Amino acid sequence: MYPPAMFSERDLSAAVAIARETKFATVAIAAADGLITVHAPFTPVESKTGATFVGHVLRTNPLAAALADGAVQARLVFLPAQGYVSPSVYAEKRVSGQVVPTWNYVAAHLDGRLRLVPETEHLLEILATQVADYEGWVASDWQLSDAPAGYVEKLSRAIVGLTFEATDGLAIVKLGQNRPKEAVAVTRWLDETRPEATGIGHWMRRHWDAAAR
């Protein structure tokens, strides 16, 4: 299995949980003229499976044209955190020197069907849903209705809505599980020397705090 089972699990609900926290995805589909890869925010919505997401892209986005003839198989990749770990951090470096660099990261791969939402169907509802999710995430209360209706309607003509139904998921949580005794040192090192890597530090603290309970 790759990534190794120590760092990953083929579990839709675990992958969806990571996606819910990340909110921004890389979308990949195979089109007639090659691979199309774009980046866009996606928001989970209530559904029977719990694995349905909505999003939107500009009408000029190549993804919109690729979906014009119907739903396609797609992969959404969510990457909430990643960070380089120097072997200089490990205690083993001073004992045997048998250490090498690594890269810790958290990711979710969701595979499923991606389709366009008909132009007049639910587009504003999708936008309102996304705004509510993201504004709540940053502790703000701006709503789509705070903007003039005519302004929103005009801008919405330039975009298309998307729905994605995930049917399979892979959750990857590579946070030094192969070196549990080094977890505290690595997390502290990230906090002290890599302030830009606070995301991976957060995920490491959360993982190892849970493992200690």
Q: How many domains does the chain have?
A: 1
CATH number at residue 153: 2.30.110.10
- For residue 23 the two structure tokens come to 């909110």
12 within some domain: yes
In a domain, 189, yes or no: no
Please check whether residue 202 lies inside any domain of the structure: no
pTM exceeding the 0.85 threshold for the entire prediction? yes
133 within a domain of the structure (yes/no):
yes
Domain of 68, in residue numbers: 8-82+101-177
Instruction: Compute the Cα dihedral for 87, 88, 90, 92 and give only its sign.
Output: positive
Whether residue 182 is contained in a domain is answered as no
Which pair of structure tokens corresponds to residue 70? Answer: 């119907």
- Do the Cβ atoms of 144 and 124 come closer than 8 Å? yes
92 part of a folded domain: no
Does 157 fall in a domain?
Answer: yes
pLDDT in tens, the chain (213 residues): 789 999 999 999 999 999 999 999 999 999 888 999 999 999 999 887 779 999 999 999 999 999 999 999 999 999 999 888 999 999 989 999 999 999 999 999 999 999 999 877 789 999 999 999 999 998 999 999 999 999 999 999 999 999 999 999 999 999 999 999 999 999 888 888 766 656 777 888 888 888 887
Residues whose CB falls within 8 Å of the CB of residue 32, separated by 6 or more in sequence, listed in order: none
- Is 131 inside a domain boundary? yes
